Amino acid sequence: MVAPRRKPASRRATPAPKSAAKRAPKPASTSPAAPPLLHLSIHCTDLPGIRFGAPCGAGVPACYDPVHLGIQRGEEVIDDVPADQRQATFDASFRVGRQRDGSPNLLGPYAHGPVHDRFVYLSWGVKSKAGFAMFRRLKLRLGHLGWRQIERSLASGEPLRVTLRLTDARGAPLCATPPATHVAWGR
């Protein structure tokens, strides 16, 4: 007896099982939601100029020329600008988490320092064909930022804003943690 010929599978008209129509589609991703991103806009004013001489001991001054300012992302200084500009703006973004005590924890390549004392580095250096040679840097501390400021920024989509005056009392590039007189936080 000869078996009846069957249509190839691609041409078979078989109804889908009833249970398949009732199945819910699989979610596109089962990973948890990404933490929100907090944006920070750092507006720098009063830059000290492109040439900087510093006493270096034994009566021999060091001269830095051409001086540039950049923001540190991880280990790399990026977005550097000549220090003779009237002003410069740097932008940084942070993932926002919670510390064990419930306070904000800023994370990402722009966040430096221990969890309880986060900061952003602005770096001074000499720009040449060989690259950026840092000679000092400034710590913009972020530990004072509370949930109220962060949540307001996240809800509005507007970055937190800070203005820094970057020349110290001797006319040199400001470094370390700037005094309160040189830092103005806004929204």
- Give the C-alpha separation, 152 to 75, whole Å: 30
Domain boundaries, the chain: 34-186
What lies within 8 Å, CB to CB, of 146 at 6+ separation is: 103, 104
Segment 52-60 mean pLDDT: 62
- pLDDT value at 115 more than 70: yes
Q: Which pLDDT value is given to residue 129?
A: 93
The answer, yes or no, to whether residue 30 has pLDDT greater than 50, is no
In the prediction, which pLDDT does 36 show? 77
Q: What is the pTM of this model?
A: 0.79
Rounded-to-integer distance, Cα 57 and Cα 60, Å: 6
pLDDT at 159: 97
3-state secondary structure of 136: strand
pLDDT, residue 28, reads: 43
In this prediction, residue 15 carries a pLDDT of: 45
Looking at residue 49, the DSSP 8-state letter turns out to be -
Read off the pLDDT band of 55 (50, 70, 90). low
pLDDT higher for 127 or 23? 127
Average pLDDT taken over every residue of the chain: 85
